[in-house]
């Protein structure tokens, strides 16, 4: 992935420099909502990311401090990827994307349940989920 200089000082532009692509937020989604944490986990996702692209995205996310690479407790052959406070703070954005998508796409029933919960108590939902995710990274 290109580790280019930023294109402007605009907050949107700076943000897109970090996660403005088709894959990065899907990896964050997998970690946030589906408890995925290994290279193999991410490869298995429905969208079918290519292995080299996954590697480059994981590197980019690590450089941007959105994820951390740790040794896996189960095995030395595995690598554990973990969210950071910086990526947990993306949750409000990701929730809003869900709400927008809910308005303009057909959403599968089980995800719709979560979206409804987020819609009927957005702040509560974000707060609760944030705390849960923070617990996971409490060293």
Partner DNA sequence: TATTATTGCTTGCAAATTGCAAGTGCAAAT
Partner DNA sequence: ATTTGCACTTGCAATTTGCAAGCAATAATA
Which chain residues interact with DNA by CB under 7 A? 1-2, 4, 21-23, 38-41, 48-53, 55-56, 58, 69, 72, 75-79
Residue 75 to residues 41, 71, 72, 110, Cα–Cα distance (Å): 15, 8, 6, 33
Alpha-carbon distance 131 to 91, whole Å?
Answer: 11
100 is an interface residue for its own copies by CB under 8 A: yes
Query: For 3, how many CA atoms within 13 A lie in the half-sphere containing its CB?
Result: 9
Query: Tokens representing 77?
Result: 């052959």
CB of 97 to its own copies, least distance (A): 5
Contact 98, 33 (CB under 8 A): no
Q: Which is nearer to its own copies, 37 or 87 (CB)?
A: 87
By a kind-dependent CB cut-off of 5 to 8 A, residue 89 interacts, out of DNA, its own copies, none, with its own copies
Interface residues with its own copies (CB under 8 A)? 7-17, 20-22, 25-26, 29, 45-48, 86, 89-90, 92-94, 96-108, 111, 115
């Amino acid at each position: 992935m290109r580790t280019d200089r930023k294109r402007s000082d605009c907050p949107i532009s700076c943000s897109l420099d970090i996660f403005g692509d088709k894959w990065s937020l899907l990896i964050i989604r997998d970690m946030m909502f589906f408890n995925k944490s290994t290279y193999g986990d991410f490869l298995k996702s429905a969208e079918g990311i290519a292995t080299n692209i996954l590697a480059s995205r994981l590197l980019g996310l690590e450089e941007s401090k959105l994820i951390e690479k740790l040794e896996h407790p189960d095995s030395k052959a595995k690598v554990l990827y973990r969210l950071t406070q910086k990526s947990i703070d993306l949750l409000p954005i990701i929730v809003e994307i869900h709400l927008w998508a809910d308005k303009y796409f057909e959403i599968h029933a089980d995800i719709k349940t979560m979206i409804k919960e987020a819609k009927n108590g957005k702040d509560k939902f974000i707060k609760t989920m944030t705390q849960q995710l923070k617990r996971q990274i409490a060293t």
